[in-house]
Amino acid sequence: MRCPGPPCNLGPHCWRDPFGKKHYRLRTHHLKTLIGLVQQGYVLDSHDAVPDEVRSQLYAEEQQRHERRSTAASAATPGFPPITITNVMPSPSNRSPSTPLTSDTPISGKLHSDRASVNIPGPRDVAVVAYSEWQRSNVVNEAQKVEYTKACDATLQEMLDLEQVYEDQDTDFYIQQGVKMGVARRFISDIPRWAELYRIAYNERGEH
């Protein structure tokens, strides 16, 4: 479980997420868990073989760090006015059901039948963190990476999951949380594409 490179400066041991390629530091308690599994006969021959229980633990710890940073940022900004979000139902659309949704599709063109395309297995909060890391891995600009982290924090703070986010198509929610428009639109529109990749990898690990 040594870092496969490029060096991540997290220490000699890490786990590289196959989705976002993010490196997670493996601490003593993670390594003890892996050693125990190997001693019981589990074959750990690559980073992709890290079991789901350890992955979930790493994702959960990353989520906790996000939440602590978000809480610290809120405490450092006293007097921030509360945000009121008004949900306005869109008018019916004449768009054909066969027309694919894109990031430019207006809210009024969204069909409820599309919910089936974003069924995401596993813990919902873990999926939000994994999705955010995948988005961050697709940009090199540090400012954009920060915006995706802000979108993730806002989602978790309101206890939303990705299926709800895609169903709502509410870019204004993220914009009002300070997320740039382009990132807000991308954070919503890319969910089906990521969900398909996530389901494939999840099933390949033997989950149902």
Tens digits of per-residue pLDDT, 193-205? 998 888 887 777 6
pLDDT digits (tens, 9 = 90+) for 26-70: 888 888 888 888 988 888 888 888 888 888 888 888 777 777 766
Q: Output the CA–CA distances (angstroms, integers) from residue 142 to 15, 80, 168, 202, in the order listed.
A: 22, 25, 28, 29
Buried b (16+ CB within 10 A) or exposed e, 70-80: beeeeeeeeee
Query: pLDDT tens for residues 73-89?
Result: 555 545 544 444 444 44
Instruction: Please report, for residues 53, 134, 163, 166, the alpha-carbon distance to residue 194 in angstroms, rounded to integers and kept in the order given.
Output: 21, 8, 12, 12
Residues 6+ apart with CB under 8 A from 110: 90, 101, 167, 169
Dihedral angle over CA of 12, 18, 23, 29, nearest 10: -60
Model pLDDT, residue 109: 37
Residue 162's pLDDT band (boundaries 50, 70, 90)? very high
How high is the mean pLDDT of the chain? 77
Cβ–Cβ under 8 Å, residues 130 and 20 = yes
pTM of the model: 0.50
The confidence band for 72, taking pLDDT boundaries of 50, 70 and 90, is low
Higher-pLDDT residue of 206 and 90 is 206
Which of 7-21, 37-51, 111-125, 149-163 shows the lowest mean pLDDT across its residues? 111-125
Range with top average pLDDT, 7-21, 38-52, 93-107: 38-52
**CB proximity list for 95: less than 8 A, separation 6 or greater:** 105, 109
How far apart, in whole angstroms, are the C-alpha atoms of residue 100 and residue 106?
12
User: What is the mean predicted confidence (pLDDT) over 1-23?
Assistant: 80
User: Does the pLDDT value for residue 103 go beyond 50?
Assistant: no
Q: Which amino acid is at 79?
A: G
Under 8 Å between Cβ of 41 and 154: no
